[in-house]
């Protein structure tokens, strides 16, 4: 494993002419020999020791310059096996070589692609494999250059994978797709190799089969890592996106999973791989990405390379002994190397044999030491791989524990929810217990009332018993009275019988006594009547007493039953109260125990909630601080823009500055509200962050536009506006600094930014043109007025043209009359076309208003769309003014007091104004409107009529102007030369004048566009104000000039004839 630098110093001291150049030459020679032995046309696998020396060479020179310097000269197009082994060696160099190898291979991508395309077009068995292999290598180089976090060996930790994926779901999605493409290239190579082995009925022990199978070791190593990374990324994607969105990813992964599992299974069954690599086994089914806990069941496939046994073939000599080829080197490889690179640089034979023998012995010692170092390094590598595998297993165990902890956390959350439900149930039980206590107290009160009622009933019963005794006594007295009455009655009856007998016996004898007896009888009869009446009264009172006694007995029975029922209910209530007391005591004890447990858990959860609450507060403040930092950067950039020299050419209108400043003022109010809300509730900083973001952008926009507006303003207002912008930026930056500190956050005052913003707003309003202050409610009337004025101006122009034509017919004749009629007829046609266009535009405007105003009035619609309305006003004024100018120019041309060029320019101006009117009407029109189609047809007709005016004017000008023929027959050579020089001077003067006029035209147009953009009504005539040049500008930018060329003879209007596109403003 040691390089040439490991040679002892005493050996180097004996070598004649030792230097860095010689060491470099020896290194190049060793690399050339290793490359020639590793990449040859023999159908055998690449030996590991040659590939290892090439890889060590890349680490020695920290790159693959030497490798490519020799590999680029190999005759790869001549042999497919040579190209196949070249791809194999390049794959190993990319995986295990120095990190700079990747960048060196990037420079030779075209060579790799050419080799693959060449053998892909040829129907050769190895050629098809070379084509697939080169695509894999190109994909590998592109992937690792795009994602430098992944080394070419694809061995990274999960933390690096998480960092490379990031938190943006789009980046994770794209990285997963690129890994799928990477895996497809790897699997396609393995399938191509196995397909050829099956077709050729080759086995893994044959040299031809091993030559094809050898590169699959690197493919297995790459696929194991790619499989693990795709599983991790897919689980992460499923945690962020819905399952339906990732259906394509899952289908593609399942297809790759089955292909990879089949590839690993077939490779594990081959004897060739069993002694070179330990292939992992994949699970029977792919992971279930729809279940998040399935990530804990995933096991990372680990590929283990067994410890290599020392090879029997001795290594190359460190010092060249002879010029002959080394022992054991195939003759074909040496011939191939000699044919390609020429014979190696051999050293001259030395006569000092003794020194050579000593060097040989030292070389043998170094070889033995080298073998020992190799063995120790291999053991150390094996130990490190074992430690890596153990650490990976421990890492997997930690991941499982992490997943288990997450599951336990979910269970604890569920238990917390259950405990909260139990707590609520306890609260409800407490309420029930209190209600039962209230019922028990009510029952006790009822019992006391019943007891009182019972005592009252007992007293009433005793009273009734006493009354019953009295009644019985009275009844006994009555019965005795009745018995006395009966005895008296019997006595009276006996006496009557006795009297009758005595009267019958002594009737005759005692007649005198009869009368006396009658009188006595009558008296006794009266007494008897009285006795009977008293007896009847006694019987009635006795009946009344009997009925009363019966009622009292019934009442007694009812009261006795009620008392017994009350006693039974009272006994049942007492039993129920005792049972409730026992149950409540048990519930109270159980509730006290549960309350103690719940209070303990509640205290624990409260501590956790306090920690989470503090964490939430910290996270919310971190979000606020990040937003404030970003806002500070935005504002700092805006403030720095004010002093940027490149910003001096940027301009803005005062109206736009006013709108931006007003929006920033509204954002200040929202920022104050968000600040107060955050101070009241620090758990939610969303309102303050949103307001802060909006304020930073709007304030920065106001500052930048304030600086841009100051570039076109006069000096004093511009300076005040710049000062206001700087003050606004300083206060906003101070506010951002306070919002970034937790202690200074409550003392922050967002309202301090309002005063400089109000200053910017006031200065912007002062800079707005004062002549355009038309109230929005008057815009509708202004539109109708201007459209009517335009129509009237066009009709007046048509009438004036007809008058001029009649006057020209009376005052001129011949050629002049023909020319004037042609010009006036073309002007009349143009006016008619313009009038039709204005009428169509008015109809379209009414259609737009009716379709867009809804429930609003026409005036409200114009006020709502004030910018568009001002554009219509500007366009209609321009059309009316152009028609008037055309008539005046035509009048002057007919009267021979004007120039034909004025008529041409007026035609161009009318075409531009009508184009502006069409554009203004087209902005809000429906594209399927029939009025819009008619308007476009009218616009084309106006252009054609304007072109006709230009053509008739030019032709008339050519006919009217005198074109004298030039006669140079009487001039001598000297006079001709003199006139030629005078003509050249005249030409130069005219060109200078033309250049100056073009510059003046450019300035006029620039001033016109500036006024049109700032005022919105370019057709209104007012004295133009000088515009201040941008401060700090040292040189005016050059204006684009029209080239000098002859006027075109066609009748088409374009920019070269003076037709320029109209500028549409204020809508």
Comparing CA positions, the residue from 842, 983, 823 lying closest to residue 907 is: 823
Which H or E run includes 742?
A: none
How far is 452 from 942, CA to CA, in rounded Å? 116
Q: Do 175 and 164 form a contact (C-beta atoms < 8 A)?
A: yes
In the predicted model, is pLDDT for residue 851 greater than 50? yes
SS3 730: helix
962 compared with 187, residue with greater pLDDT: 187
How far is 1058 from 918, CA to CA, in rounded Å? 19
In the predicted model, is pLDDT for residue 334 greater than 50? no
pLDDT-based confidence at residue 780 (cuts at 50, 70, 90): low
pLDDT tens, 867-925?
677 776 777 777 777 777 777 877 777 777 777 787 788 888 888 878 877 887 777 77
pLDDT-based confidence at residue 955 (cuts at 50, 70, 90): confident
pLDDT-based confidence at residue 503 (cuts at 50, 70, 90): low
1014 compared with 1034, residue with greater pLDDT: 1014
Tell me what pLDDT residue 449 has.
78
Comparing CA positions, the residue from 602, 607, 610 lying closest to residue 424 is: 602
pLDDT-based confidence at residue 352 (cuts at 50, 70, 90): low
In the predicted model, is pLDDT for residue 1061 greater than 70? no
In the predicted model, is pLDDT for residue 366 greater than 80? yes
Name residue, tokens 């159908």: 43
Tell me what pLDDT residue 511 has.
63
Tell me what pLDDT residue 976 has.
77
Tell me the two tokens of residue 344.
Answer: 């190696």
Question: What distance lies between CA 807 and its chain's CA centroid?
Answer: 75
In the predicted model, is pLDDT for residue 561 greater than 70? yes
pLDDT tens, 972-1009?
777 777 787 888 888 888 888 888 888 888 888 777 66
Tell me what pLDDT residue 966 has.
60
Residues 439-455: what's their mean pLDDT?
A: 76
Name residue, tokens 């074992």: 386
In the predicted model, is pLDDT for residue 326 greater than 50? no
In the predicted model, is pLDDT for residue 1018 greater than 50? no
pLDDT-based confidence at residue 479 (cuts at 50, 70, 90): confident
Instruction: For the chain, give the percent of residues with pLDDT over 70.
Output: 81
| The most confident of 228-232, 582-586, 643-647, by mean pLDDT | 228-232
Of the listed ranges 158-162, 337-341, 764-768, the one predicted with least confidence: 337-341
In the predicted model, is pLDDT for residue 180 greater than 80? yes
In the predicted model, is pLDDT for residue 492 greater than 80? no
Q: In sequence order, what are the beta bridge partners of 278?
A: 304
How far is 336 from 751, CA to CA, in rounded Å? 85
pTM: 0.35
pLDDT-based confidence at residue 116 (cuts at 50, 70, 90): confident
What mean pLDDT value characterizes the chain? Answer: 76
Tell me what pLDDT residue 517 has.
62
pLDDT-based confidence at residue 728 (cuts at 50, 70, 90): very high
Of the listed ranges 204-218, 329-343, 522-536, 664-678, the one predicted with least confidence: 329-343
Residues 112-141: what's their mean pLDDT?
A: 85
Comparing CA positions, the residue from 309, 384, 377 lying closest to residue 155 is: 384
pLDDT-based confidence at residue 781 (cuts at 50, 70, 90): low
pLDDT-based confidence at residue 325 (cuts at 50, 70, 90): very low
Tell me what pLDDT residue 282 has.
85
Q: How many CB atoms are closer than 10 A to CB 832?
A: 15
Which H or E run includes 71?
A: helix 65-71
Q: How many CB atoms are closer than 10 A to CB 9?
A: 7
Tell me what pLDDT residue 522 has.
75
50 compared with 1014, residue with greater pLDDT: 50
Q: What is the 3-state secondary structure (H, E, C) of 646-676?
A: HHHHCCCCHHHHHHHHHHHHHHHHHHHHHHH
Extract the runs of DSSP E, i.e. beta strands, from 705-842.
none
- 278 — phi, psi (to 5°)? -100, 110
How far is 1045 from 1054, CA to CA, in rounded Å? 15
Comparing CA positions, the residue from 770, 650, 625 lying closest to residue 701 is: 650
Tell me what pLDDT residue 651 has.
82
Q: What is the 3-state secondary structure (H, E, C) of 180-245?
A: HHHHHHHHHHHHHHHHHHHHHCCCCCCHHHHHHHCCHHHHHHHHHHHHHHHHHHHHHHHCCCCCCC
Tell me what pLDDT residue 891 has.
75
SS3 72: coil
Q: Do 944 and 938 form a contact (C-beta atoms < 8 A)?
A: no
Of the listed ranges 36-50, 191-205, 690-704, 814-828, the one predicted with least confidence: 191-205
Tell me what pLDDT residue 68 has.
87
1045 compared with 58, residue with greater pLDDT: 58
How far is 595 from 581, CA to CA, in rounded Å? 20
């Amino acid at each position: 494993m040691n390089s040439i630098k490991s040679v002892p110093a005493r050996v180097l001291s004996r070598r004649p002419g030792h230097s860095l150049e010689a060491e470099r030459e020896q290194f190049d020679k060793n690399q050339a020999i290793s490359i020639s032995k590793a990449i040859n046309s023999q159908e055998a696998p690449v030996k590991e020791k040659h590939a290892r020396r090439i890889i060590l060479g890349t680490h020695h020179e920290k790159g693959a310059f030497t490798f490519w310097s020799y590999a680029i000269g190999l005759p790869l197009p001549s042999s497919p096996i040579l190209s196949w082994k070249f791809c194999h060696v390049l794959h190993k160099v990319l995986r295990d070589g120095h990190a700079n190898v990747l960048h060196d291979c990037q420079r030779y991508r075209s060579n790799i692609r050419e080799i693959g395309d060449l053998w892909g077009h040829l129907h050769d068995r190895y050629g098809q494999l070379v084509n697939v292999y080169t695509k894999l290598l190109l994909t590998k180089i592109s992937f690792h250059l795009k994602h430098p976090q992944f080394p070419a060996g694809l061995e990274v930790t999960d933390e690096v994978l998480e960092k490379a994926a990031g938190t943006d779901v789009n980046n994770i999605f794209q990285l997963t797709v690129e890994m799928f493409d990477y895996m497809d290239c790897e699997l396609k190579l393995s399938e191509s190799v196995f397909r050829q082995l099956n077709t050729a009925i080759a086995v893994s022990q044959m040299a031809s089969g091993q030559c094809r199978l050898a590169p699959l070791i690197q493919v297995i190593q790459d696929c194991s890592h790619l499989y693990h990374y795709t599983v991790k990324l897919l689980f992460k994607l499923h945690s962020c996106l819905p399952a339906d969105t990732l259906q394509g990813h899952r289908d593609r992964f399942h297809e790759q999973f089955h292909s990879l599992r089949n590839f690993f299974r077939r490779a594990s069954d081959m004897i060739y791989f069993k002694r070179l690599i330990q292939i992992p086994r994949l699970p029977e089914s792919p992971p279930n990405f729809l279940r998040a806990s399935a990530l804990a069941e995933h096991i990372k496939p680990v590929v283990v390379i067994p410890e290599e046994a020392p090879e029997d073939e001795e290594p190359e000599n460190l010092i060249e002994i002879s010029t002959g080829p080394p022992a054991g080197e195939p003759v074909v490889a040496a011939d191939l190397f000699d044919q390609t690179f020429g014979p190696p640089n051999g050293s001259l034979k030395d006569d000092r044999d003794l020194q050579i023998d000593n060097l040989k012995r030292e070389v043998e010692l170094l070889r033995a030491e080298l073998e020992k170092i190799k063995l120790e390094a291999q053991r150390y590598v094996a130990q490190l791989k074992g430690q890596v595998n153990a650490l990976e297993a421990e890492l997997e165990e930690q991941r499982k524990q992490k997943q288990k902890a997450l599951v336990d956390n979910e269970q604890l959350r569920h238990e917390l929810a259950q405990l909260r439900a139990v707590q609520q149930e306890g609260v409800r039980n407490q309420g029930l217990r209190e209600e039962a206590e209230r019922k028990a107290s009510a029952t006790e009160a009822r019992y006391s009332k019943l007891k009182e009622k019972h005592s009252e009933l007992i007293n009433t019963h005793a009273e009734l018993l006493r009354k019953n005794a009295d009644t019985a006594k009275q009844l006994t007295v009555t019965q005795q009275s009745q018995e006395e009455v009966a005895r008296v009655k019997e006595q009276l009856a006996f006496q009557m019988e006795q009297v009758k007998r005595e009267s019958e016996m002594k009737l005759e004898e005692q007649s005198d006594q009869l009368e006396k007896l009658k009188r006595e009888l009558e008296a006794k009869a009266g007494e008897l009547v009285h006795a009977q009446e008293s007896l009847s009264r006694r019987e009635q009172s006795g009946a009344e007493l009997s009925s009363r006694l019966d009622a009292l007995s019934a009442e007694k029975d009812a009261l006795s039953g009620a008392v017994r029922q009350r006693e039974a209910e009272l006994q049942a209530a007492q039993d129920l109260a005792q049972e409730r007391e026992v149950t409540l005591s048990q519930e109270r004890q159980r509730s006290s125990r549960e309350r103690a447990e719940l209070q303990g858990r509640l205290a624990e959860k409260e501590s956790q909630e306090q920690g989470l609450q503090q964490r939430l507060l910290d996270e919310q403040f971190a979000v606020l601080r990040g937003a404030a930092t970003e806002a500070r950067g935005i504002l700092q950039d805006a403030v720095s823009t004010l002093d940027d020299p490149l910003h001096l050419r940027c301009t803005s209108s005062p109206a736009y500055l006013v709108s931006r400043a007003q929006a920033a003022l509204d954002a200040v109010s929202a920022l104050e509200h968000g600040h107060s809300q955050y101070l009241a509730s620090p758990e939610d900083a969303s309102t303050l962050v949103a307001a802060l973001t909006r304020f930073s952008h709007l304030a920065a926009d106001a500052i930048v536009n304030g600086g841009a507006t100051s570039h076109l303003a006069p000096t004093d207002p511009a300076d005040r506006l710049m000062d206001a912008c700087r003050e606004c930026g300083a206060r906003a930056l101070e506010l951002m600094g306070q919002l970034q500190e937790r202690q200074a956050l409550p003392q922050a005052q967002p309202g301090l930014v309002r005063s400089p913003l109000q200053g910017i707003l006031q200065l912007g309003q002062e800079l707005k043109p004062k002549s355009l202050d038309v109230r929005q409610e008057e815009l509708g009337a202004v539109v109708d007025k201007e459209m009517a004025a335009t129509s009237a101006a066009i009709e007046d122009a048509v009438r004036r043209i007809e008058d001029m034509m009649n006057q020209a017919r009376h005052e001129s004749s011949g050629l002049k009359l023909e020319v004037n009629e042609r010009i006036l007829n073309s002007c009349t046609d143009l006016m008619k076309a313009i009038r039709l266009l204005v009428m169509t535009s008015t109809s379209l405007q009414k259609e737009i208003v009716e379709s867009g105003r809804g429930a609003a009035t026409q005036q409200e619609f114009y006020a709502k769309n004030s910018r568009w309305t001002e554009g219509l006003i500007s366009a209609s004024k321009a059309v009316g003014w152009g028609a008037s100018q055309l008539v005046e120019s035509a009048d002057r041309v007919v009267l021979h007091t004007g120039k034909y060029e004025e008529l041409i320019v007026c035609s161009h101006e009318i075409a531009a104004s009508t184009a502006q009117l069409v554009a203004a009407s087209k902005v809000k029109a429906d594209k399927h409107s029939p009025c819009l189609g008619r308007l476009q047809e009218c616009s084309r007709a106006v252009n054609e009529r304007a072109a006709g005016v230009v053509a008739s004017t030019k032709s008339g000008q050519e006919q009217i102007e005198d074109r004298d023929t030039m006669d140079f027959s009487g001039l001598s050579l000297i006079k001709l030369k003199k006139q030629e020089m005078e003509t050249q001077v005249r030409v130069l003067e005219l060109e200078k004048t033309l250049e100056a006029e073009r510059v003046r035209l450019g300035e006029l147009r620039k001033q016109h566009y500036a006024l049109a953009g700032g005022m919105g009504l370019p057709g209104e005539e007012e004295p133009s104000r000088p515009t201040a040049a941008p401060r700090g500008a040292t040189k005016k930018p050059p204006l684009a000039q029209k080239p000098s060329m002859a006027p075109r003879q066609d009748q088409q209007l374009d920019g070269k004839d003076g037709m320029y596109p109209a500028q549409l403003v204020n809508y």
